[in-house]
Amino acid sequence: MIKIYKYGEVSSEEIFSRQDPIVRVEQAVSEIIAEVVKNGDKALKAYAEKFDKVSLTELEVGKEEIEKAYAAADKDFVSVLEQAAENIRKFHLCQVREGFSLKGEDGVVVGQKITPIEKVGLYVPGGTAAYPSTVLMDAIPAKIAGCKEIVMVTPPAKDGNVNPDILTAAKVAGVTRIFKVGGAQAIAALAYGTESVPKVDKIVGPGNAYVAEAKKQVFGKVSIDMIAGPSEILVVADATNDPEFVAADLLSQAEHDVNASAVLVTDDAAFAEAVSSALERQIPQLPRSEIARKSIDNNGKIIVAADLHAAIDIANEIAPEHLELCVDEPFRYLDEVKHAGSIFLGKYSPEALGDYFAGPNHTLPTSGTARFSSPLSVDDFVKKSQYIYYTPTAFEKVADGIAAFAEKEGLHAHAKSATIRFETKE
């Protein structure tokens, strides 16, 4: 049963604590990466047999397999996928930024140019659940950014095929190539390349502890989006809500995995008890009830605050991945929110709306990192270069000052590079 606290009875650090011990996977992941670097495709196929229980002759998904999955897909599902994709495109198109150029006196020009990352890798989970929504959320911003090659990796099923819903989403989103590889070995393949899997410049997408650790270990060789922790939701709700609705929203994250965290902050003690009772009614009805039960019992919390403003202060302390403001006039409170990955406003904007359909990205900062990081966006798939142009006249005016600055730092060659252009030659 979920635990109920009055504010002050539990610290903000403990609110999203994980009761299960952290699995130490660093050494195992390091060995997997080294094996993939050494043996390439041979290692990937061996790991597929070991972890996925499947023998693969080809790692890449053929175009025929993708077209077959798309043709066989439920038409209603395809329709929802395409609507969601259009919403995601509209939202992310607003994130596209242009370079700039500043012109000064004497012909000086300085500026910034935006360039797409050429090759990006998308990791799409395929273990306890398959997530076609992740394909849309990761691939569409990359496509909008102008990435030439979008390479997707995802674990195969025991029959050697990729989940057809994932393949359908990949076609809708415009993924370039797809490989039947999962786990830390997939991240290694993207980072270093193999005979079949191309080396990419950046890797994005969620995964289990092994995937997260692999992303951490290859960072520097390639760029990554973030190190994502278990999923979290914090709901701020008053007593005007239906407790069944709020309980369902909490369970939408609790069913992800046993380490997920679901937290309610309310200003009404009776409502807290009502939500607790609603959770007990709903958990047994879920197909993933065992996972949800462990998540709620180990990590779930209800906190009773003095008022809604205090509740939002608590949310800011925690900086949750998903924050629901289940209140009337939610825009009245929006400016009070300082730290959250994605904010869901009102009583009819559940977190699932953002996961699948509305348009904003669902790849979000976890574990309090919303204090300093942002959701996945078009910005993650571009890089910025600066440029500087000075005419001889403009540079001569500042050369002595630059040289003096360099000498202050003890860098004589820097200083010389500024003054040598104007020295009289004998």
Q: What are phi and psi of 3, to 5 degrees?
A: -90, 140
Q: Does domain 3-18+230-358 match CATH 3.50.30.10?
A: no
Q: Examine the pLDDT at 195 and tell me if it is beyond 60.
A: yes
pLDDT tens digits for 130-187?
Answer: 899 999 999 999 999 999 999 999 999 989 999 999 999 999 999 999 999 999 999 9
Q: Examine the pLDDT at 128 and tell me if it is beyond 60.
A: no
Cβ neighbours, 10 Å, residue 242? 14
Predicted local confidence at residue 10, as pLDDT: 76
Give the confidence band of 22 by pLDDT, cuts at 50, 70, 90. low
Give the confidence band of 19 by pLDDT, cuts at 50, 70, 90. very low
Take residue 42 and report the two structure tokens written for it. Answer: 């041979």
CA dihedral (416, 385, 374, 146) in degrees, to 10, reads: -170
Q: Helix, strand, or coil here: 389? A: strand
Predicted local confidence at residue 23, as pLDDT: 62
Predicted local confidence at residue 129, as pLDDT: 67
Looking at residues 372-397, what average pLDDT do you find?
97
Predicted local confidence at residue 42, as pLDDT: 98
pLDDT tens digits for 85-99?
Answer: 999 999 999 999 999
Strands 342-345, 232-237: parallel, antiparallel or unpaired by DSSP?
unpaired
Catalytic residue of the set 321, 324, 351, 362: 321
Predicted local confidence at residue 426, as pLDDT: 60
Catalytic residue of the set 92, 213, 256, 322: 322
Predicted local confidence at residue 11, as pLDDT: 76
Take residue 420 and report the two structure tokens written for it. Answer: 């040598």
Take residue 398 and report the two structure tokens written for it. Answer: 């500042």
Predicted local confidence at residue 127, as pLDDT: 58
Quickly tell me which residue has 């070995």 as its tokens.
185
Cβ neighbours, 10 Å, residue 75? 7
Which percentage of the chain shows pLDDT scores above 70? 96
Strands 109-116, 382-389: parallel, antiparallel or unpaired by DSSP?
antiparallel
Q: Helix, strand, or coil here: 105? A: helix
CA dihedral (260, 264, 265, 269) in degrees, to 10, reads: -140
Quickly tell me which residue has 């012109």 as its tokens.
103
Rounded distance, CA 162 to CA 43, Å? 19
Q: What are phi and psi of 109, to 5 degrees?
A: -135, 125
Phi-psi region of 368 (alpha: psi -120 to 50; beta: other; left: phi over 0): left
Rounded distance, CA 272 to CA 301, Å? 10
Q: Which amino acid is at 58?
A: E
Looking at residues 315-322, what average pLDDT do you find?
94
pLDDT tens digits for 366-384?
Answer: 999 999 999 999 999 999 9
Take residue 20 and report the two structure tokens written for it. Answer: 């299960």
Superfamily of domain 26-224: Nitrogenase molybdenum iron protein domain (3.40.50.1980)
Which residues on adjacent β-strands are paired with residue 222? 219
Hey, where are the domains in the chain? 3-18+230-358, 26-224, 390-422
Phi-psi region of 359 (alpha: psi -120 to 50; beta: other; left: phi over 0): left
**126: which DSSP letter?**
B
| 321 a catalytic residue | yes
pLDDT tens digits for 69-87?
Answer: 999 999 999 999 999 999 9
Asked whether 260 and 223 are in contact (CB, 8 A), the reply is no
Q: Examine the pLDDT at 328 and tell me if it is beyond 50.
A: yes
Give the confidence band of 18 by pLDDT, cuts at 50, 70, 90. very low
Take residue 184 and report the two structure tokens written for it. Answer: 């830390």
| 256 a catalytic residue | no
Predicted local confidence at residue 400, as pLDDT: 97
Predicted local confidence at residue 21, as pLDDT: 45
Q: Helix, strand, or coil here: 261? A: strand
The whole model's pTM is what? 0.92
Looking at every residue in the chain, the average pLDDT score rounds to 95
pLDDT greater at residue 10 or residue 37:
37
Asked whether 157 and 163 are in contact (CB, 8 A), the reply is yes
Q: Examine the pLDDT at 234 and tell me if it is beyond 90.
A: yes
Cβ contacts of 140 within 8 Å, gap of 6 or more: 85, 88, 89, 92, 173, 174
Q: Examine the pLDDT at 398 and tell me if it is beyond 70.
A: yes
Cβ contacts of 57 within 8 Å, gap of 6 or more: none
Q: What is the 3-state secondary structure (H, E, C) of 316-346?
A: HHHCCCEEEEECCCCHHHHCCCCCCCEEEEC
Rounded distance, CA 320 to CA 305, Å? 17
